[in-house]
Copies of this chain bind each other. A is one copy, B any other.
Amino acid sequence: MTVTIVDSQATPVQEKIEKIFSKTDDLGVCPVRGILDRIGDKWSYLTIIHLGNSGKLRFNELKAQIGDISQRMLTVTLRSLEEDGLVQRHIYAEVPPRVEYQLTALGESLLQRMIDLAEWANMYKAEIVKARSRYSKN
By a beta-carbon cutoff of 8 Å, the part of chain A in contact with chain B is 2-5, 10, 13-14, 16-21, 31-33, 35-37, 39-42, 45-46, 49-50, 52-56, 82-85, 106, 109-111, 113, 115-122, 124-125, 127-132, 134-136
Contact = CB atoms under 8 A, between A and B. Distances in A.
7 contacts: A2-B54, A17-B49, A17-B115, A20-B118, A85-B135, A106-B124, A106-B131
A29 to B, nearest CB: 8
A104 to B, nearest CB: 9
Copies, count: 2
Nearest to A53: B17
Contact of A128 (B14, B16, B106, B118): B106
